[in-house]
A and B are shown apart, each in its own frame.
Chain A
């Protein structure tokens, strides 16, 4: 049994999400859906031209098998990322009902990585033997990706396996040559990913908060259960500082921290006359912070801000304590399902949408587009891992406008955002005002040069 603290895991995850970037978007999601639909149409036209064959591991004449690997069965956190698996199963059902993928039916196999690095490695090995690609995955601990890069294809060549990941928390998976990640990748992925380096960070939300309070002054709560999450927070802190935020302090918060202990953060805000609190951890941390603030009679905070980690059902059911909290995200929110066809498809298919599932669905869409483009260009029997790997390097993908502007590389950092605010148990759009749109500006991204490991030492 692997002992995993749920709080820690969620905290770890939340910082990953902190930097979430789901691609680029036009400022109006009603814009054309990118090249996905046209590729599908061309692919369908090619389906009848030749007899379908089993072209690759996981590709038969009738089906294309992909594997979704996610942490779903850890004893202490059963169902943690079940949303990814549910979304991929729903996506397969939907895509099969709408013509399939690459002239075949999509078949999804699930692999439970159990918050365990060994099971993640096993999952990659299993995918190499049964699937043509890994799609929609979300495994927190995935440090050994050697098989991802060199397992043999049907022809015996050590080409590895394509990985269309929804979220890659581990830097090794993020920067793997064969991974295409929905989530934003801050790392330059050019060397060893250690020491002083250029790291991307999103500051669009901070700039919006500065329209509410130009002189933001406050505290940043750092998810502290894993060193990697602390390090990830360092460039978020630095980038906001460069944008003009005056930090009173940056303080660590554990998934296990009792609400009483949040008093320290409240006192820091009180003592420093703060007007801004940013939680880089998860929804539970934000709920405890807001409750403690109310208990301590803290007023004067103009901006309570959180990452996508607070965009949860749990947060919505936390009552008036959390009212007014801002949450930023980089895809159109579920509340606007009618504004975008792809988003609507996901929400209708899944019933209870969640952020992880949304990213998995987007990964499924990216895989479908890659395969359909291969079929359109090279025929229905050209679906092989090398071809998919080559295609993923240049894929122009916008998730039907759901994530805004098209992205063209496997690792990107989106400059798009939408900001929501919770009130009365409902998330409401506050920026940009127009439903179905995202704000996409290059100024929303900044680059900070630093060594996160060294900077982590300065966080309390």
Chain B
């Protein structure tokens, strides 16, 4: 008999062997007896309950809205603070405070989010959906930090804190933890029942699949989508309230649980709520096992913190391979006009001129302001923004053209910076930069491997996991960044006889070097956009199926763009090293990279000039803070600013560069095409939108279609009072 071995089986065996190897290598020597087992199980299940309840909420939000809500834990954090305010500060009884928080504030937030933001994301591109929720996360974090200053310590008491709990072997399970696990289980089963056995739940899922079809069956999509977000916020709030006594009422502790919850949700393939519960338990038990039985040693000192990310990565490896979509070919816009070489050169020159004028104090209207000062400090900060701009540039071909959403480039830049400290950075050898780029290109390729199987949200989560593992395991490895070697790691670099450094005396020269480098890369990207490779990437992004049909090798095409992006991120990392001079182990955390992806998406990730606009945006928030005199209510502006900018993408999904370009390019005498484009857009907009004074034209000079009826409802502001689809039916009948 011939044994049939599937690739999945091989993967299971390989992953299992790797885990066994790691356990064996890092075994701490604890005896496996009843005592340690009970400790491992009770702690693991308690932790698992915490993660499960967040993961369950994440899955239910995704199942009922179709949007992966990165802000889920941040909303839960905000609601936990509200609950603390009501119970601890105001002295309101627990039950009433729970009712107010979970059944008044949480649904209100959910309905508000749906009404103001989420409805606009229904058909938005994945990158827009993700960036809006990431922006929402930063905004909620900023609001929470602004209202409840972290300077003041707060704690949320456990439920039934002064009771004995239940003795399980050597360990006591407190009632709060028992409640957490039971609630997580009940939430999992209850939501499963709600989604599959009740009319409301089935309607919620149906609306995600097809609003119009759901409407035809009598569902009310607009109300149901609001209810879905309300339910999501309620589960987030419940999780926040139950988790806060365990993690402490600390914003980043509560918000960062999203990484763990994502791993548990990935195990559930974002579909099964009971499996999300199981996923939470798996992660909790894995962390507990690590704490009780393993010793990671100095080389992998932070490996236990990367366990959730590693599990996320493994879970994604076992997802079924993404199939090529057919029948969903979308042509989202007219073919873009390609930038001509002389226009790209002009753009690069303008960038150099702007930065040069600022650096030399030639911009009079900002020269009197703090950020306009041509001080050494601000020259250094300017260089800091420019190196981050280089990271943003590396995202253009990857996300903007190839449609591969990645959160890993800042981590690759971090690896590049650390590598440069080994390969020439400490001797000022410019050749080291080339070596780093040659290493980071295949590193990008390594990330591309899951991209060959995954796409969309799963790919984004895989890159998120990579970024976390890179921060916790790779960059912090003593062979990469020796913790005992502190101080300046980078010497001035010699470029063709010219020494470049970020020291106080050379900062203007360094800034000009960076902007010239940035402008060169910008020009090269604009030229690359004109080549066959860029056209392939864009075609692959628009329709992988169609691309494959016309003979494009999707595997090679994806690998090429990841390699290019990796090499560019590596170069950016070298510049980051040069600019900062010194590095610490936490210089490249996952969350520091998010605003970069976010800001370039806000500006328009398809356009290289968006990287320049993005870095200006990055600079504008601290500058605004200083100009306004550093008011206490704006201390979190560096969170809230990018957050709100990202939320605005719900209204301007193509990015600021696209809209401003469309509106302003027509002012240039030689851009007749832009004027035509704008006129076309206006005509289309007018055709699609109905004014109240145009209602009489319906059915006469303008067709009375179902779409028009829905628009009419919106114009008359009756969308939420009367179901859209009913109007279609009745309108059609009349």
Name A's B-contacting residues (CB within 8 A). Answer: 1-8, 73, 75-80, 82, 117-118, 121-122, 125-126, 128-129, 141, 143-147, 151, 170-172, 193-194, 224-228, 230-231, 252, 254-256, 258-261, 263-264, 267, 270-271, 283-284, 287-288, 291, 295-297, 312-315, 317-318, 452-454, 456-457, 460
Contacts and interface: CB of A to CB of B under 8 A. Distances in A.
B165 A295 contact: yes
Given A1-B642, A261-B287, A453 B153 contact: no
Interface stretch (B433-441, B564-572, B579-587, B719-727): B579-587
B381 A297 contact: no
Given A75-B142, A254-B305, A2 B584 contact: no
A177 B649 CA distance: 51
Interface stretch (B79-87, B232-240, B480-488): B480-488
Given A1-B638, A76-B252, A317 B153 contact: yes
B234 to A, nearest CB: 23
B150 A296 contact: no
A144 B581 contact: yes
Nearest to B489: A143
A256 B151 contact: no
Contacts of A224: 301
B589 interface: yes
Given A125-B504, A231-B484, A264 B43 contact: yes
Contact of B377 (A126, A228, A252, A314): A126
A420 B616 CA distance: 51
Nearest to A229: B483
B246 A144 contact: no
Given A78-B150, A260-B46, A226 B287 contact: no
A1 B487 contact: no
B145 A259 contact: no
Interface of B: 28, 35-36, 39, 42-43, 46-47, 50, 141-142, 145, 149-153, 155, 158, 164-165, 170-172, 174, 177, 245-248, 250-253, 256, 287-288, 291-292, 295, 297-299, 301, 305, 375-377, 380-381, 384, 476, 478, 483-488, 503-504, 579-587, 589-592, 595, 630, 635-639, 642
B486 to A, nearest CB: 5
A290 to B, nearest CB: 12
B47 A258 contact: yes
Contacts of B158: 291
Contact of B483 (A170, A231, A267): A231
B483 to A, nearest CB: 3
A243 to B, nearest CB: 25
Given A1-B595, A117-B584, A270-B170, 19 more contacts: A1-B638, A3-B589, A3-B591, A5-B589, A75-B635, A79-B150, A117-B582, A118-B579, A118-B580, A122-B381, A171-B486, A193-B484, A226-B585, A263-B171, A264-B39, A264-B291, A297-B172, A454-B298, A460-B295
Given A7-B252, A122-B380, A146-B488, A283 B503 contact: no
Contacts of A145: 487
Given A7-B250, A75-B145, A78-B150, A146 B592 contact: no
- The 4 tightest CB contacts between A and B, nearest first, are A314-B153, A227-B483, A457-B298, A143-B582
A145 B582 CA distance: 10
Contacts of A78: 145, 149-151, 635-636
A284 B248 contact: yes
9 contacts: A80-B151, A126-B377, A146-B503, A172-B487, A224-B301, A227-B483, A256-B252, A258-B50, A456-B298
A255 B302 CA distance: 13
A271 B171 CA distance: 11
Nearest to A460: B295
Nearest to A259: B246
B145 A296 contact: no
A271 B299 CA distance: 28
A128 B43 CA distance: 52
A96 B170 CA distance: 62
Contacts of B36: 267
Contacts of B295: 460
Contacts of A80: 150-151
Contacts of A267: 35-36, 39, 170-171
Contact of A118 (B171, B384, B586, B630): B384
Contact of A261 (B43, B301, B485): B43
Contacts, number: 204
A267 B172 CA distance: 11
A236 to B, nearest CB: 17
Given A78-B635, A264-B43, A259 B165 contact: no
A85 to B, nearest CB: 11
B301 A230 contact: yes
Contacts of A225: 586
A7 to B, nearest CB: 6
Contacts of B246: 258-260
Contacts of B639: 1, 75-76
A202 B145 CA distance: 37
A224 to B, nearest CB: 7
A228 to B, nearest CB: 6
A296 B38 CA distance: 13
B301 A227 contact: yes
Contact of A295 (B172, B247, B287, B584): B172
Given A143-B487, A284-B248, A75 B35 contact: no
A73 B635 contact: yes
Contacts of B579: 118
Contacts of B585: 226-227
Contacts of A256: 247, 252-253, 256, 305
Contacts of A128: 504
A113 to B, nearest CB: 12
A161 B503 CA distance: 16
A143 B151 contact: no
Contacts of A144: 487-488, 581-582
Given A226-B585, A453-B298, A457-B298, A125 B380 contact: yes
Contact of A312 (B153, B155, B636): B153
Contacts of A255: 253
A358 B165 CA distance: 42
B189 to A, nearest CB: 23
A259 B245 contact: yes
A79 B590 contact: no
A61 B444 CA distance: 60
Nearest to A147: B504
A456 B43 CA distance: 26
Contacts of B164: 297
A80 to B, nearest CB: 7
A144 B585 CA distance: 15
A288 B375 CA distance: 46
A318 B637 CA distance: 31
A107 B586 CA distance: 35
Contacts of A270: 170
A158 to B, nearest CB: 11
Contacts of A254: 305
A263 B248 contact: no
Contacts of B487: 143-145, 172
A313 B153 contact: yes
A308 to B, nearest CB: 16
A225 B302 CA distance: 8
Contacts of B291: 261, 264
Contacts of A231: 483-484
A1 B635 CA distance: 12
A422 to B, nearest CB: 14
B247 A121 contact: no
Nearest to A267: B39
Contacts of A7: 248, 250, 252-253
A260 B43 contact: yes
Contacts of A315: 153
B476 A261 contact: no
Contacts of A271: 35, 170
A121 B380 contact: yes
